[in-house]
Amino acid sequence: MATLIKGRRVVAQSTPPSPEEGEVLRLEPTDDPAAVAGRLARVARVEVHFPKFGDGRGFSIGRLLRERYGYKGELRAVGHITRDHLFFLESCGFDAFELRAGEDPHAALAAFDDFSESYQASPQRPLPLFRRRPA
Amino acid sequence: MYVYDEIDQRLVDERVRQFRGQTERFLAGQLSEEEFRALRLRNGLYIQRYAPMLRIAIPYGLLSTRQLRKLADIARRYDRSYGHFSTRQNLQLNWPKLEQVPEILAELATVQMHAIQTSGNSFRNVTTDHFAGVARDEIVDSYVWCEIIRQWSTFHPEFSYLPRKFKIALNGGRADRAAVAVHDIGLHAVRDDRGEIGFRVLVGGGLGRTPVIGVCIREFLPWQHLLSYLEAILRVYNRYGRRDNIHKARIKILVKERGADKFRDEVEAEWAHLKDGPATLIHEEIERVAARFTRPKYEPLADIDLRTVNVPGFANWLKRNVQPHKVPGYAAVTLSLKKTGVPPGDVTSDQMDAIAGLADRYSFGELRVSHEQNLVLADVRQADLVAVWREARALGLATPNLGLLTNIISCPGGDFCALANAKSIPVAEAIQRRFDDLDYLHDIGELDLNISGCMNACGHHHVGHIGILGVDKNGEEWYQIEIGGNQGEIRPGLKAALGKVIGPSFARAEVPEVIERLIDCYLARRDSEAERFIDVVNRIGIAPFKEYVYGNADQRSARRRAEHAALA
């Protein structure tokens, strides 16, 4: 059973949302977020699937959902996720993470602090470092 | 040198801590081989034929003497007291221990160095012209732009798990000394008619098993948009680059499959959203980065004429290994790492220390690594050249063969590399021995000879004027010969080009003989000494060379008889 981290906390595996909360939209790496843009306001959450440890397509999907299509709800990374992905996933707009089986979720929390800065912009730091850096 | 600020340093330190943790988790069985593989590669750690190999980043090939001494020290304490400078301007250690790698990385961090993203499916070291900042044909100082790209591409959250590795090269001079056309992205600095800086953008170039010359998708990209445009290219690649087949995963395949026009349209469509966004560069940042580079404090000097210096051997070295400098009274010196009998690019720890001493005394404490696997002292006073030559010669680093046949680019090959089909180093050495007569070598003139031990082409054989590729035939090592390749427009009019195979491959022992036949053909067919090997190949095609090498059996034996007669 995979474990879930949400809002930087380990939470019990969530149950499927009730009908009034909306549906769960699941995107595969080959899916185009543009195709679902019109439905985003009505979904309970979006899950982006990472089928392999090294498959990075979902990172682009995450950024597109947040930055281009204005998605504000839960954005969950599912699939082959280990703590080693968390910092980058969060920087691409993900806020919920289903870890692959065998990964210790409590130890994984530390990975959000792997780096205390980043050169690039992210939801946490909307401007890239060079726009914030003292001369 | 770009000098780190507190944030740059912190990120490197945090990376060391992260990788230490990942190594511990792997050793404790919490990470699978496959998972750890992806993580260790992006920290430069390969598992090679006999031992791990650690590839240390030398961003755009620029190195301080403090860093070089640290590399010498690390090679001594954690390895076998030598390192190998690669065609990617990096340094490779061939015998480190896996458990010690986090410790090595921590040592590197103390001198603002790392092994971040030197391997794996991520951005690699940004490479550039080894005469950046000193060349007379400079359009921009490429180091500043390379550093800006380095920072942008370091730990990029969206592009850290690309379909395949990704190499960006940037050239700041009129001549292309960075081989930009054979990189995933090649950037040529240009100025528009108002003098504004921009970049000509090439994509989809590369060597490897499917060599391709990059195509231009934008003639002039204003500098402010450099990062957002790169981001657009990378997003198209990250989303649509093939991940089903490692041999088809580079961006060149995507560009080919889509067609350059459609690929360009997709990039432009993506860029329309990103343009003028947060990644837009600002003057202040260019100035900030430029100001963090240490600059030589040149003395006001005049150029001096050294052609009259009457010391045997010096003139050849001056002609081949010394380049003009944009500041009067200075010159750029190339220390050759291509001495016969030494694997191309290899340097011992003692040599590294001695080279650091040279650079401290004669070149403001900095040096560069060239993609031709040599070291460059970029800021030497012309008045010191004789002294530098004497010292370099004593260190075995003054072989006057820059641009000549024996300045061979070679990968480590089957002696070290797990991927290789054949050895490269002994082939390089056999050729160097065959062409050990300096007068003859100078008579042959400019010629790039490159050797790769397998089709991954780390030795850039496709762009050698003569390229040698190790191939495997039923478990035996054979060598295929190409001619007509060219790494880039170093001189106007001679474009980057891929070599053509001349015919069936050869046994290792035959290779020097084949090279000699190619040279004989060239010498017989050239119009004048000014016409180089590559010019002759371009003028007459490969057929006459082929004929000269393979001929028919009768011609071959007749030639042998003639040779024996000449010897007798």
Distance from CA of A107 to the nearest CA of B (A): 11
Averaged pLDDT, B475-483 = 95
Q: Which chain B residue shows the shortest CA-CA distance from A28? A: B239
Cβ–Cβ of A60/B238 closer than 8 Å? yes
pLDDT for the residue numbered A122: 95
pLDDT band at B492 (very low <50, low <70, confident <90, very high): confident
Say how many domains are in chain B.
4
pLDDT for the residue numbered B568: 57
Distance CA B511, CA B150 (A): 40
Best to test chain A binding among B8, B161, B245 (most A CBs inside 10 Å): B161
Any CB–CB contact under 8 A between A101 and chain B?
A: no
Over residues B332-348, the pLDDT tens digits come to 999 999 988 888 899 99
Over residues B429-453, the pLDDT tens digits come to 999 999 999 899 999 999 999 999 9
Any CB–CB contact under 8 A between B9 and chain A?
A: no
CB B331 within 8 A of CB B375: no
pLDDT for the residue numbered B417: 86
Question: Looking at this protein, which amino acid is placed at residue B392?
Answer: A
Q: What dihedral angle (degrees, nearest 10) is formed by the CA atoms of B219, B223, B227, B233? A: 0
H-helix or E-strand spanning residue B479 = strand B476-483
* Residue B163 placed within a domain: yes
* Residue B126 placed within a domain: no
* Residue B402 placed within a domain: no
One domain for residues B464 and B546: yes
* Residue B496 placed within a domain: yes
* Residue B69 placed within a domain: yes
Task: Inform me whether the pLDDT recorded for B282 exceeds 60.
Answer: yes
pLDDT band at A18 (very low <50, low <70, confident <90, very high): confident
Cβ–Cβ of A56/B278 closer than 8 Å? no
One domain for residues B62 and B101: yes
Any CB–CB contact under 8 A between A87 and chain B?
A: yes
Percent helix, strand and coil across chain A, each rounded to 5? 35, 20, 45
One domain for residues B239 and B137: yes
Over residues A94-115, the pLDDT tens digits come to 999 999 999 999 999 999 999 9
Distance from CA of A44 to the nearest CA of B (A): 24
One domain for residues B475 and B360: no
| Range of the structural domain that residue B347 is part of | 314-394
Any CB–CB contact under 8 A between B282 and chain A?
A: yes
Distance from CA of B58 to the nearest CA of A (A): 19
* Residue B298 placed within a domain: no
* Residue B22 placed within a domain: yes
Delineate the domains of chain A, giving CATH numbers in brackets. 3-132 (3.20.20.70)
One domain for residues B149 and B275: yes
% of chain B residues with pLDDT over 70: 96
One domain for residues B169 and B255: yes
CA angle in degrees (0–180, nearest 5) for B236-B161-B119: 115
Contacts of A87 in chain B (CB under 8 A): 157
Considering chain B, what is the average pLDDT of its residues? 94
Contacts of A128 in chain B (CB under 8 A): 152, 278-279
Q: Which chain A residue shows the shortest CA-CA distance from B121? A: A54
One domain for residues B373 and B471: no
Cβ–Cβ of A122/B35 closer than 8 Å? no
Averaged pLDDT, B263-267 = 98
B62-64, strands of its sheet edge to edge:
B62-64, B366-369, B375-381, B330-335, B322-324
Contacts of B287 in chain A (CB under 8 A): 135
One domain for residues B222 and B96: no
One domain for residues B553 and B417: yes
One domain for residues B202 and B322: no
Over residues A47-65, the pLDDT tens digits come to 999 999 999 999 999 999 9
The CA distances from residue A110 to A83, A88, A115, B84, B155, in Å, are 8, 13, 10, 37, 17
* pTM (two decimals): 0.94
CA atoms within 13 A on the CB side of A135: 8
**Which CATH number goes with the domain that contains B339?**
3.30.70.3340
Helix pair B543-550, B533-540: axis angle to 10 deg: 110
Distance from CA of B375 to the nearest CA of A (A): 30
pLDDT for the residue numbered B455: 92
One domain for residues B158 and B251: yes
Averaged pLDDT, B1-13 = 97
**The pair of three-digit structure tokens given for residue B307, joined into one six-digit string:** 């052609």
One domain for residues B352 and B422: no
Cβ–Cβ of B160/A56 closer than 8 Å? yes
Over residues B127-176, the pLDDT tens digits come to 999 999 999 999 999 999 999 999 999 999 999 999 999 999 999 999 99
Over residues B238-247, the pLDDT tens digits come to 999 999 999 9
**Which CATH number goes with the domain that contains B151?**
3.30.413.10
Over residues B189-248, the pLDDT tens digits come to 999 999 999 999 999 999 988 999 999 999 999 999 999 999 999 999 999 999 999 999
pLDDT band at B478 (very low <50, low <70, confident <90, very high): very high
Cβ–Cβ of B157/A129 closer than 8 Å? no
